[in-house]
Structure 1
Amino acid sequence: MRFVSTRGQTPPLGFSDAVATGLAPDGGLYLPETLPQFSAADLARFEPLPYAELCFEFLKLFATDIEPSVLRAIIAKSYTTFSDPRIAPIIKLDERTSVLELFHGPTLAFKDFALQLLGNLYEHQCATRGQTINVLGATSGDTGSAAIHGLLGKPGTAIFILYPDGRTSPLQERQMACTGADNVYALAIDGSFDDAQAALKDLFADQDFRTRHRLSAVNSINLARVLAQCVYYLYAYLRLPAATRAETEFVVPTGNFGNVLAGWTLQKMGVPIHSFKVATNQNDILYRLFTTGDYRVSAVAPSLAPSMDIQVSSNFERFLYLSIGRDSAKVREVMETFKKTGGYKFENFDRDTFSASRCSDAQIPSIIKDVYQKYGYVVDPHTACAFADLSKDRPSLVLATASPAKFPDTIISAIGVEPKDPSLEALKQRPLKKHLLKADAGAIRAFIDANAV
């Protein structure tokens, strides 16, 4: 299997090279040259498989340059760190509403599904190629901690995570800045997530810099992130009741568009998921996109759901490429217009597949309280956004993207109960080690120059 850039101006790569490269040299994002198609017989064969084995059956179609026995071992290792043996359990709340819990990994967020795997893929590449690698990412909260914990102490690696100073939850920051690992650098940026992501893209555009440091991206711009996340959609679809499977809507809290993109990509592979609801917080560019067709940046307002405090959704480019028939020239035109003007007006969207909802900060505590009183179930602020406007016409499967224990202040204010997790309690006793930097590519470049492996 080969992987091509959405902008069509760089040669195709194999899986391992595309993973190691992250962002394509032409500024685009890698996607499979062709998408495999799953038949009803394939889905029937997949249905009884445990999570790790299903992940292997899926990823072996893409990671064709890794020996199958090696790939199976990498995948098995990646999911031994999850606290629930089901990996991604479905919790039924009532006849029409269920929750897919995606927070049983080591950092209590859905990002662990991809980043435990990606960390082990990086470790495999370092060992087999005899090279070091420096991993760079930007985060609005959960990606950074999950990426860091996927690479903790792994030989031949260093990881640099940019995050907006003061705009993550205290426990999210502690997960990044209290590891004590020598290969981890938590870089607190004076600015928003979008500022951090813009600096990251500038650094990856510096071909000499990225080559000199063997720089790889850990954000959802890395294709391994999207492919790994496809698996929990497939796993969940196969575990829905047969009677409602074909009509269930997946409701996805979304900021950087990578999570819902994975489900939509799986649908493009022939898995008959009915529809997706894109659930945003008050930073609602994706809500505006899917309700009006207008993709336009506005100011980021810090919220109770900080991982969704994003305006420029990096995975939108993959969605654009696939939805307009893989027309790289058109992608370049749209992205250039968006870069210059901060907006783009689209004429057509698949309204049967996508809908959207918006949740304000004022609504989040009341939704948490309502879900708790109705079901005795506690949701984190991001998952609460998904409950803002559930369908009355069909069953809903809400993707619970983080443990409520990561956001105790919001939960306490909403229901008077403090959610706890032993791993987070231990972090409160550790010293915080972060590096304060301006949201400037030059300052970040100098820091990496001084600390890269």
Structure 2
Amino acid sequence: MKYVSTRGLTDPVSFNEAVAIGLAPDGGLFLPESLPDISPRLPAWKNLSYAELCTEFLSIFATDIPADVLEQIVHRSYGTFTHPDIAPLRKIDPKLYVLELFHGPTLAFKDFALQFLGNLYGWQCAQKNRSINVLGATSGDTGAAAIHGLLGKPLTAIFILYPEGRVSPLQERQMTCTGAANVHAIAIDGSFDDAQRVLKDIFANKSFATQHNLSAVNSINIARVLAQSVYYLYAWLRLPEADREKVEFVVPTGNFGNVFAGWLLQQMGVPILGFKVATNRNDILHRLFTTAEYRSGEVHPSLAPSMDIQVASNFERFLYYALDESPTRVNAVLAQIKATGSYRFDLLNKSVFSSSAASDEDIAALIKRVYERYRYIVDPHTACAFKDLNPQRVSVVLSTAHPAKFPAAIHAAIGQEPTAPALDELKSRPIVKHRLPADAEAIKAFITQRAV
């Protein structure tokens, strides 16, 4: 299978090439040249373990990786998870399930993709006997998960940009207290959108990216999207058959990558009824699905910092399909967004997508309500998903992070402070970070000094 750029100015590449490059040279995002129909395979996949299902699914897309190698990479990746189901599906009410995605090494859903990507990078480096420098931007969980996917791996270095003072203290510690020589946590002045802008500027400098074998670890990397599709499929297969026909996945998301991974699965023939996009006060996606207008605004710090975003980078992939897979139309829309800051769709399918936005006051109230009603503790991001659930549908809420990562918000809401041993251990370690401006030249100079 080949992969094409959403902007149409890059020759098709293999899966391995798409993963290694990350961002297409024309600035676009890679997608499969065509999407397969996986519906005939669903009955045979029903009783597979998570790792077995992941191997079967990814083998459709990673056609240039030997089957035994792919199987080893997948099993190694999910062998680090602490729950035997990897992504347990918990029923907390007759029409309400929670898909727990926080049993990986950094207690966040990003581990699903980034443990896999880290091991895939390790294999690629060993195959080619060359180094790789991984660059990413994070609003919280991506950075920690990416770092732990590459922790101590030979021939690799990882550089993670994050907004100073705008991630939770424990999220920062997960990035800055590893003690690993190949990890470089860079705190920039500004927002996550500033970090993401710098990252794209650096990758746009093709000679610099080639010189340092740069690769992207953000959800712009197609391997991340495909790996995330698997947990939707795993959950759908474990629902009672009657519930599968009317299920809506409720997804806390700011960058659109998580919900796009589920929507892509629907395009491959999995009969998922719909998706609800749950945002915080930075509600660009909620406004998109209620007004059909994509318009960026100012980023406001919130209790759910991983969603403090106003430029949803994965939206470009959705745009590609919404515009009939026409790179010419994609480029025209992107040019309009760059010039005016907005784009209005003629029509968005509201039978597939719905949305909600939660203020900080809503988040605190939702944490309390969920605990009182279900005796279940959710983190601030997951709490956003419990706002205005559709009573006509079966809801599967994606629980994206362990509540222990946000002790202050949980304690303020319910008077309890959940803990996790992996996080408690970090509190005694020294923080090692590098404070830099949100400037591509400054970051490039830093990378040049420390690249492997």
TM-score bracket for this pair, using the shorter chain length: over 0.9
Unaligned runs of 5+ in 2: none
Match of 1:4 in 2: 4
Match of 1:166 in 2: 165
Q: Deviations over 1:366-414 (max 9, x none)?
A: 1100100001000000000000110021111100000000000000000
Which amino acid in the other structure matches residue 219 of structure 1? N
1:72-83 map, 5 Å = 72-83=71-82
Match of 2:371 in 1: 372
Rounded to whole Å, the distance in 2 between the matches of 1:65 and 1:395 is 38
Match of 1:182 in 2: 181
Which amino acid in the other structure matches residue 30 of structure 1? F
Q: Deviations over 1:250-284 (max 9, x none)?
A: 00001100000000000000000010000000000
Q: Deviations over 1:120-145 (max 9, x none)?
A: 00000000011100000000000000
Rounded to whole Å, the distance in 2 between the matches of 1:149 and 1:220 is 16
Q: Deviations over 1:47-82 (max 9, x none)?
A: 000000000000001111110001100000000000
Match of 1:61 in 2: 60
Match of 2:352 in 1: 353
Which amino acid in the other structure matches residue 135 of structure 1? V
> Does structure 1 residue 153 correspond to structure 2 residue 139?
no
Post-superposition offset of 1:323: 1.9
Rounded to whole Å, the distance in 2 between the matches of 1:324 and 1:232 is 27
> Does structure 1 residue 48 correspond to structure 2 residue 44?
no
Match of 1:92, SS state, is: strand
> Does structure 1 residue 103 correspond to structure 2 residue 90?
no
Q: Deviations over 1:279-329 (max 9, x none)?
A: 000000000000001100110000000000000000000001012210000
Rounded to whole Å, the distance in 2 between the matches of 1:163 and 1:436 is 10
Match of 1:153, SS state, is: coil
Normalised TM-score (structure 1): 0.99
Match of 2:92 in 1: 93
Post-superposition offset of 1:350: 1.0
Post-superposition offset of 1:346: 1.1
Which amino acid in the other structure matches residue 129 of structure 2? G
Rounded to whole Å, the distance in 2 between the matches of 1:241 and 1:386 is 22
Q: Deviations over 1:153-187 (max 9, x none)?
A: 00000000000000000000000000000000000
1:266-281 map, 5 Å = 266-281=265-280
Which amino acid in the other structure matches residue 6 of structure 2? T
Match of 1:447 in 2: 446
**Could you say what the CA RMSD is over the residues aligned between the two structures, in angstroms?**
0.5
Normalised TM-score (structure 2): 1.00
Match of 1:267, SS state, is: helix
Rounded to whole Å, the distance in 2 between the matches of 1:450 and 1:244 is 54
Rounded to whole Å, the distance in 1 between the matches of 2:326 and 2:311 is 21
> Does structure 1 residue 327 correspond to structure 2 residue 326?
yes
Which amino acid in the other structure matches residue 128 of structure 2? R
Rounded to whole Å, the distance in 1 between the matches of 2:200 and 2:46 is 40
Rounded to whole Å, the distance in 2 between the matches of 1:242 and 1:392 is 18
Match of 1:238, SS state, is: helix
Match of 2:16 in 1: 16
Rounded to whole Å, the distance in 2 between the matches of 1:446 and 1:210 is 13
Which amino acid in the other structure matches residue 7 of structure 1? R
Rounded to whole Å, the distance in 1 between the matches of 2:38 and 2:27 is 31
1:415-434 map, 5 Å = 415-434=414-433
Rounded to whole Å, the distance in 1 between the matches of 2:57 and 2:343 is 35
Over the matched positions of the two proteins, sequence identity in percent amounts to 65
Rounded to whole Å, the distance in 2 between the matches of 1:9 and 1:305 is 37
Match of 2:297, SS state, is: coil
Post-superposition offset of 1:341: 1.4
Rounded to whole Å, the distance in 2 between the matches of 1:439 and 1:332 is 26
Post-superposition offset of 1:23: 0.3
Rounded to whole Å, the distance in 2 between the matches of 1:341 and 1:171 is 37
Where has structure 1 moved over 3 Å in runs of 4 or more?
none
Which amino acid in the other structure matches residue 13 of structure 2? L
Post-superposition offset of 1:345: 1.1
Unaligned runs of 5+ in 1: none
Which amino acid in the other structure matches residue 18 of structure 1? A
Match of 1:306 in 2: 305
Rounded to whole Å, the distance in 2 between the matches of 1:245 and 1:13 is 35
Match of 1:145, SS state, is: helix
Match of 1:214 in 2: 213
Instruction: Count residues in correspondence.
Output: 452
Match of 2:328, SS state, is: helix
Rounded to whole Å, the distance in 2 between the matches of 1:369 and 1:389 is 15
Rounded to whole Å, the distance in 1 between the matches of 2:334 and 2:433 is 34
